[in-house]
């Protein structure tokens, strides 16, 4: 699998309540990046009256990697 270390790190982060509770909805992330001139414009993910969506998916078989505490 490509980027296995990154997916493992994200899988561990997604299991952490503080990370999940502080994540912005998908639409806000897309809107932020679309404001950057180097990013291509895409359509909105949802309508204004839709519930916010949060993508916490990782590819099947990913093993969460420990996140070091500093």
The pTM is what?
0.68
**Low-confidence residues in the chain, pLDDT < 50:** none
Predicted local distance difference test score (pLDDT) of residue 39: 85
Predicted local distance difference test score (pLDDT) of residue 46: 63
Specify whether the CB–CB gap between 42 and 59 falls below 8 A. no
Predicted local distance difference test score (pLDDT) of residue 45: 63
Predicted local distance difference test score (pLDDT) of residue 21: 95
3-state DSSP call for residue 68? coil
Predicted local distance difference test score (pLDDT) of residue 41: 76
**Which residues, at least 6 apart from 20, have a Cβ–Cβ distance to it below 8 Å?**
14, 54, 56
Tell me how crowded residue 50 is: count the other CB atoms within 10 A of its CB. 11
């Amino acid at each position: 699998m490509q980027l296995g270390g990154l997916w493992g790190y994200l899988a561990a982060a997604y299991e952490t309540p503080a990370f999940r509770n502080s994540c912005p909805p998908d639409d806000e992330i897309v809107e932020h990046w679309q404001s950057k001139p180097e990013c291509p414009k895409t359509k909105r993910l949802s309508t204004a009256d839709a519930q916010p969506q949060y993508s916490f998916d990782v590819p099947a078989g990913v093993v969460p990697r420990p996140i070091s505490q500093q």
